[in-house]
Amino acid sequence: MCVLDAAAKEAEVARFLRAYPRVTEAGGTHPVLRGCDEIAWSEIPGCPAGVPAVLRGLLDPDAAAEAQRVLDNVLMDGVFRLSAVMPVALPFLLRLAADPGLPVRADLLGGLLLAAELCTPYDADEPVPRFSGGAADHAERLRCGAVFAAHAPEVAGLADGFPDAADRACLREVAGLR
């Protein structure tokens, strides 16, 4: 399995920050990112300290695509494996995704849907649990599920914008809206 370790994630963020230094300016923080700079990101296992700047990069039309790519690497530890940072970043991602003017909104919505799929409970009768085990096998899935549920109104609004009924149902289910 492809795994991106903490050093590789840190290097990716550092490279992004060198390429887009203006995103490090905390003073221009968008209201949806309020509180982001107060989180001790580097204390989260495998999380680079520069995550707030990468999140701000999602709002910058010039940096957004690269910020999304870097963020995808930070939020995932491997294929179908959420990182420990995902539950902490999720409230900010949900609020960012609600902004129809976000330059990379479609990509962000796709990432949120993947996270929701990974957190959705599976049928105990399935012969092989989806995505390498159930939520109980991955604490970050349980934490993300709790965040989706805590932000149910935002999730419902996002779900309503998905054209596919199965995608809408997945988001609603993970938020406890079924």
Domain boundaries, the chain: 6-174
pLDDT of residue 2: 55
- pLDDT digits 0-9 by tens, 54-79: 999 999 999 999 999 999 999 988 77
- pLDDT digits 0-9 by tens, 112-156: 999 998 887 665 555 555 555 554 556 888 899 999 999 999 999
Query: Per-residue pLDDT for 89 more than 90?
Result: yes
pLDDT of residue 1: 42
Q: What HEC string does the chain produce?
A: CCECCHHHHHHHHHHHHHHCHHHHCHHHCCHHHCCHHHCCHHHCCCCCCCHHHHHHHCCCCCCHHHHHHHHHHHHEEECCEECCCHHHHHHHHHHHHCCCCCCCHHHHHHHHHHHHHHHCCCCCCCCCCCCCCCHHHCHHHHHHHHHHHHCHHHHHHHHHCCCCHHHHHHHHHHCCCC
Global confidence as pTM: 0.89
